[in-house]
Amino acid sequence: MTAPTKPPYGTAADSVSERAPGEPLHSPVIDWFDEHARDLPWRRPEAGAWGVMVSEFMLQQTPVNRVLPVYEQWMARWPRPADLAAEAPGEAVRAWGRLGYPRRAL
């Protein structure tokens, strides 16, 4: 029987004890993200501040897999804040669909 292997990121205690003094704690997280991050539309440069803000509102208490289709439809319909502002508020609420807490759409 072989000895159990150590998890790739160790335990919290391992991380602290093995870390050189002054080494940033965020390095392992950034390294993991660089390797495993999902390609999400609001992480792309073309999303801009508007796309990121829309995603932040949509993702509050809502899983990513439910947000993705609504986000893409929303951004296609209202690519700029002015486009949304020109619509009646009820349109935003209807487009919000089943994301929950439709008041967030307003």
* Encoded tokens for 71: 């986000």
What predicted TM-score, i.e. pTM, was given to this entire model? 0.72
Three-class SS state of 59: coil
Nearest partner of 57 among 16, 96, 9, 13, judged by Cα:
96
Cα–Cα distance, 16 to 1 (Å, whole number): 29
Smallest CA-to-CA distance from 96 within 74, 68, 78 is with: 74
* CA–CA gap between residue 71 and residue 69 (Å, rounded): 5
Q: Are 52 and 42 in contact (CB under 8 A)?
A: yes
Query: pLDDT digits over 36-87, tens only?
Result: 999 999 999 999 999 999 999 999 999 999 999 999 999 999 999 999 999 9
Across the chain, what does the average pLDDT equal? 85
Catalytic residues: 56
